[in-house]
Amino acid sequence: MSAQLGAVLALAAAWLAIGVAGLAALHRLHLVARWLFPAGGAVSLLIAATALPALWGEPQAAVLPIGLPGLPFHLRLDALSAFFLVVLGGAAAGVSLFSAGYFRQSEGTAPGLLCLQYHVFLAAMALVILADDAYAFMVMWETMALASFFLVITNHRIAEIRRAGYLYLLIAHIGALAILLCFGVLQANTGDYSFASMRAQSLSPFWASVAFLLALAGFGAKAGLVPLHVWLPEAHPAAPSPVSALMSGVMLKTAVYGFLRVATDLLPAPLWWWGVLALALGLASAVLGVAFAAVQSDMKRLLAWSSIENVGLIFAGIGLALLFAAYKMPAVAALALTAALYHVASHAFFKSLLFVATGAVLHATSERSLGKLGGLLRVMPWVGWACLLGVLASAGLPPLGGFVSEWLLLQSFLFTPGLPNAFLNMLVPAVAAVIALVAALAGYVMVKFYGVVFLGQHREEKLAAARDAGSWERLGMAWLMAGCVALGLFPAQGIELLAPVTQLLVGARLPDSGGWLLVPVAADRASYGPLIFFAGVAASVALAFFLVRRLYHGRARRAAPWDCGFPWQNARMQDTAEGFGQPVRQIFEPFFRMRRTLPSAFDAKPRYAVEVGDHFWHWLYLPLARLVESTARAIGTLQRGRIALYLLYSFATVIALLIWVTR
């Protein structure tokens, strides 16, 4: 076993040890919060730091003698796993630091138990990324699913949360079944479930496609791809905010990891329609996610839908990379894959930041509904400004991290006219247009989120008394902010980290631009230098600021808001979250299943209500659930609870078997 893999394993074991220590201090909140969670954060940082050099190293493998007899765990650390470990460690460090201040009063689960679940969840994610055989992978995958399930139902006294947890568990297991079947196909009747053996198999195109579809379904279910996304907007908001941050920021990425592992590493060279399928599903998720995010009125649910959008963009990038790889265009495939992986990293940071910020808001105000928040920037400046950074990154605005991946993704679309397939060429404009629309709508969603929560007047009296986040929470948010800024300002260095990964997966890498400019292909083709860009904006702002003061003055007076001279202004007159969603509801009407209740002209208490639902839920899930229920009921008629009847069944079965055998 080589050094880095050993160190990462030891650190994962340290996570488990911290978890077990939490179990020992079941109700001692102070110990758990102030010592164990920061220790977990330190371990996360160490994991990221240890995995970083492994990006450039040779793949390292190890066999752990645990598990069933004759079936030891195979582990392997290569560039792909190293990259995902860095993302996991980096984002989890900030979330753990935040958690140290977050879990104040125990809510539902005891703090020590929560600490165990949290750290088992982290360790399981790290081991999923390290697994090198299907057996270890599935064991860790299930551990991850179960740990996160228990974290989701932390407040298990609320029926709605139990329901969300159940839905999550159900879809996680449908996905796990698909992944299991996928590995079953990949081992090609050899009985050897190690990834090394799967790589060596040469599957026929038919079976390879079957494996690909199963992987897409299985990992898509975990990542929240349409149509298996319904659990995500339920489960992510139900969990405590740091857990939502981990689930959205990191756990979804393990699904991306698994998909990349199967589609680009274990499977033989991709077929072109695999890429098209992943691209189509990714785009569908992106559009649906952003449209639904725009009409939400619960802040965590809004962020959960926005995660579906971001995962969709990641899968669109991967799909494009597969498409290029199928047509043997490795350089462009590397560009698309870099875009997807860069988005993996930046989404991990900004979404974690936004989720923990909602956690701070939730603790300060105990409100999740956008209709009851407002004006928090004035009373919670720390959280407010941190969240502004996350919002700008999430809206894909330069010079922050979200923009870099969007830029790379759009650049790779501009290369699609080089594809040797005329039909695909014609799809390009449509697809690039959809990406552009999603990016622009993300800005709309984020303005709605930030404007309603942090700006304007307080929509409730009690908000004026909200307290800002504590120092641990600030520390965690500062770390996540630093990640967003670094990913935004130093993309050339960032893609340098991705070069070994794309080299491994598609056999090419982006050129080493070396300096401050991000140059994906050639300098006269396209380049982007966020540092110069940022310096340009900052210099103009500073110059304007000082010149105005120098040439004129800096006097300002405070007065009541103007509002066209209307003096009876109150907080209820501000635009609401529903109002902000109205144009999107109108424009994307076919996407939503809307039920409006309109008052009649003679109502004494006029009431207006609009309910926005998901078509998938109504047309796919409810019929399926009804089918399962009616089948179960039909089978249930066999069960009468009378022993004589059961004996009769046994007798009939024996007779039938005898007839069948002696035939």
Partner 1 sequence: MSALGLASQALEIVAALALAPLFAGWVGQCRAWLQSRSAPGLLQPYRMLHKLFNKDSVLAAHASPLFRIAPYVIFGCMALACGIVPTLSTDLPLSPAADAIALVGLFALARVFAALAAMDVGTAFGSLGARREMLVGFLAEPALLMVFFTAALISDSTSLTTIVRTLSAREIGIQPSLALAAVALVMVALAENARVPVDNPATHLELTMVHEALILEYSGRHLALIEWAAALKLFAYACIGMALFAPWGVAHAQSPGALLTALPVLVAKLAAAGFALALLETLSAKMRIFRVPEFLGMAFMLAVIAMLVKILLGGGTP
Residues 213-252 that bind partner 1 (CB under 8 A): none
Q: Please name which of 306, 313, 312 lies closest in space to residue 290, comparing C-alpha atoms.
A: 306
Q: Shortest gap between Cβ of 587 and partner 1 (angstroms)? A: 5
How many other CB atoms are there within 10 angstroms of residue 572's CB atom? Answer: 8
Q: Shortest gap between Cβ of 241 and partner 1 (angstroms)? A: 23
Q: Please name which of 547, 549, 570, 567 lies closest in space to residue 559, comparing C-alpha atoms.
A: 567
SS3 599: coil
Q: Considering the rule CB under 8 A, would residue 429 count as an interface residue with partner 1?
A: yes
Q: Considering the rule CB under 8 A, would residue 440 count as an interface residue with partner 1?
A: yes
Q: Considering the rule CB under 8 A, would residue 42 count as an interface residue with partner 1?
A: no
Q: Shortest gap between Cβ of 432 and partner 1 (angstroms)? A: 6
Q: Considering the rule CB under 8 A, would residue 23 count as an interface residue with partner 1?
A: no
Q: Shortest gap between Cβ of 278 and partner 1 (angstroms)? A: 22
Q: Considering the rule CB under 8 A, would residue 414 count as an interface residue with partner 1?
A: yes
Site string for partner 1, 126-165 (x = CB under 8 A): ----------------------------------------
* Residue with smaller CB distance to partner 1, 228 or 419: 419
Q: Are 221 and 174 in contact (CB under 8 A)?
A: yes
Q: Considering the rule CB under 8 A, would residue 559 count as an interface residue with partner 1?
A: yes
How many residues are listed for the chain in this entry?
A: 663
Q: Considering the rule CB under 8 A, would residue 488 count as an interface residue with partner 1?
A: no
Helices (H), 455-490: 471-489
Q: Please name which of 182, 391, 173, 419 lies closest in space to residue 279, comparing C-alpha atoms.
A: 419
Q: Considering the rule CB under 8 A, would residue 410 count as an interface residue with partner 1?
A: yes
* Residue with smaller CB distance to partner 1, 541 or 658: 541
- Residue 596 host element (H or E): strand 592-597
Tokens of 662: 């002696």
- The number of angstroms, rounded, from the C-alpha of 292 to the middle of its chain's C-alpha atoms is 16
Question: By CB under 8 A, what part of segment 441-480 binds partner 1?
Answer: 441, 443-444, 446-448, 450-452, 455-457
Q: Considering the rule CB under 8 A, would residue 439 count as an interface residue with partner 1?
A: yes
Among 170, 436, 647, 652, binds partner 1 (CB under 8 A): 436
Q: Considering the rule CB under 8 A, would residue 371 count as an interface residue with partner 1?
A: no
179 DSSP 8-state letter: H
Q: Are 330 and 468 in contact (CB under 8 A)?
A: no
Q: Shortest gap between Cβ of 378 and partner 1 (angstroms)? A: 6
Among 375, 390, 476, 500, binds partner 1 (CB under 8 A): 375
Stretch in the footprint of partner 1 (CB under 8 A) among 10-18, 232-240, 581-589, 631-639: 581-589
For tokens 């050129």, what's the residue? 511
Task: Classify burial at 67, counting beta carbons within 10 Å of its beta carbon; exposed 0-12, middle 13-18, buried 19 or more.
Answer: middle
Q: Considering the rule CB under 8 A, would residue 589 count as an interface residue with partner 1?
A: no
Among 398, 490, 610, 621, binds partner 1 (CB under 8 A): 398
Give the integer Cα–Cα distance in Å for 263 and 275: 10
Stretch in the footprint of partner 1 (CB under 8 A) among 34-42, 129-137, 210-218, 526-534: 526-534
Number of residues in contact with partner 1 under rule CB under 8 A: 86
Among 53, 536, 599, 613, binds partner 1 (CB under 8 A): 536
**83-120 in b/e burial notation, b at 16+ Cβ within 10 A?**
bbbbbbbbbbbbbbbbbbbbbeebeebbbbbbbbbbbb
Among 3, 158, 426, 656, binds partner 1 (CB under 8 A): 426
Among 514, 579, 606, 636, binds partner 1 (CB under 8 A): 579
Greatest C-alpha distance within the chain: 106
Q: Considering the rule CB under 8 A, would residue 658 count as an interface residue with partner 1?
A: no
DSSP assignment of 48-78: HHHHHHHTTS--EEEEE--SSTT-PEEEEE-
Question: By CB under 8 A, what part of segment 539-558 binds partner 1?
Answer: 539-541, 544-545, 548, 551-553, 555-558
